[in-house]
Amino acid sequence: MENISKEPSSEPYRRQIIYGAGGHARELAFQLKQAGHDVVAFVDDISPSGSADHLPILSFSEADQAFRDAEWHIAIGNISAKRRLAAKIIKNNNYLGSFVSPNAIVSGSAQIMAPAQIFANTVVSANTRIEPFAVLHFGTIVAHDVTVGEFSFLAPRTTVAGHVIIGRDCWLGVGCTIINGSSEAQILIGNGATVGAGACVVKDVRAGDTVAGVPARPLMSRTIEQ
């Protein structure tokens, strides 16, 4: 996967297709439009009809046939479904695109691995790594020396302090906070973990655990394939 954090693409803007037609998809669509991209359709194989925000909702096959040269984005909340759709799009040789908002602040030493989504008013600080298919929603702050794993979703106004490792397939709820670790003892959010809205995480979260509260405490656990 390419590092997209250094320089904007010099390629002409392609037409953009968004897989999904819900809130996340519509929020991504208006940001793409504001950045000058030509968003042509949403895709929804469950209800491929009608329109949303003045754009048609097509099936995968309809969109693929009509806009073969388009750049695709996946904008759905379910992480397992997102993984399946990513595999489907890659197998079909469609191009998966990234979005980094012009209103995001991204350090020159950060690595953002395509495809990823970095929404407006997000801060990606020094020596961070954002892995493929991660989403950093509106107003998220990712401080220095943080890794955000593939397919992880950071909801609006998530704050991650320095020296934190967030595993793959994690869900961090609205307004939660992960306090800082250190270079000798990073805080680890295990694969598939869920952090509740408004929670404050002060220590490691095991893979598959759901935590909530201030300070965050486990509510439930599930087994995650490592």
Which strands, in side-by-side order, build the sheet including 105-106? 105-106, 123-124, 141-142, 159-160, 177-178, 200-201
Residue the block writes with tokens 């493929």: 132
Q: Which of 37, 137, 144, 163 is catalytic?
A: 144
22 is in an annotated binding site: no
Q: Kindly state the tokens that stand for 143.
A: 């401080």
Active site residue 24: no
Instruction: Write out the H or E segment, with its range, that includes residue 31.
Output: helix 23-34
- Whole-angstrom distance, CA of residue 88 vs CA of residue 137: 24
| Nearest in space to 59 (alpha carbons), one of 75, 46, 74 | 46
From first CA to last CA, the distance across the chain in angstroms is 21
> Which residues carry out catalysis?
144
Annotated binding site for substrate: 77
Annotated binding site: 77
